[in-house]
Amino acid sequence: MGGALIALIVVGGLVLLVLLWGVVTYNRFVGLRSHIRDAWAGIDVELKRRYDLIPNLVETVKGYAAHERETLDAVISARNQAMANHGPADAQAKDEQVLVGALRQLAVVVEQYPQLKADSGFNQLQAQLAETEDRIAAARRFYNGNVRTFNQLTRMVPSNIIASSFGFSPEPYFELEDASQREAPKVAF
């Protein structure tokens, strides 16, 4: 009877350890998912800042380059499309890729107007946009780092058991498909 009691205690201890591990792992998933949501909110704030700056920049350029309507309309259209997308990170990344391309076209237009480059209002908008692009890049790195940790945990044994049991699935990265667009657009007109 003493041996059965010891065996029962050992089995009970092992079950308790497995349950404790399960709770800790579950809480880690919940914490990482919260970090991912927080990191995405940081990206969202910076994207909204960019969306607010772009119309001001376009209006400033319009005063100098009225006949470049097609490029200016493309920038605003890409901005509106990116701003309206509230889907997953990979879908938003595609719209952001289009917007970055349109901003690069705008940079080409601005190069044709030396007097615009000397305008103080334009220079201030340009500096704010460059700062925002840097913040977006930093926020994207932070978000993707959290996603990487979360995704590793969902795929590694034995934590993948908890992930599949409680419906934790890998999160999408926020990345651009075109390697040339991985860098913030150069807005040094």
| Inside any domain, residue 160 | yes
pLDDT tens-digit readout, 38-89? 999 999 999 999 999 999 888 888 777 766 778 888 889 999 999 998 888 8
| pLDDT for residue 61 | 83
Instruction: Give the predicted TM-score (pTM) of the model.
Output: 0.75
Which whole number is the average pLDDT over 149-159? 96
| Inside any domain, residue 188 | no
Amino acid at 20: L
Please check whether residue 43 is in contact with residue 136, taking contact to mean a CB–CB distance below 8 angstroms.
yes
Long-range contacts of residues 144-148, Cβ cutoff 8 Å, at least 24 apart:
144/173, 144/174, 144/175, 145/39, 146/32, 146/35, 146/36, 146/39, 147/36, 147/89, 147/171, 147/172, 147/173, 147/174, 148/173
pLDDT more than 90, % of the chain: 53
Range of 78's domain?
33-181
| Inside any domain, residue 9 | no
Residue 182 reports pLDDT greater than 50: no
We report the CATH number of the domain holding residue 113 as 1.20.1440.20
| Inside any domain, residue 110 | yes
| pLDDT for residue 1 | 66
Distance CA 68, CA 9 (A): 80
| Inside any domain, residue 120 | yes
Total structural domains in the chain?
Answer: 1
| Inside any domain, residue 79 | yes
| Inside any domain, residue 10 | no
| pLDDT for residue 104 | 87
| Inside any domain, residue 24 | no
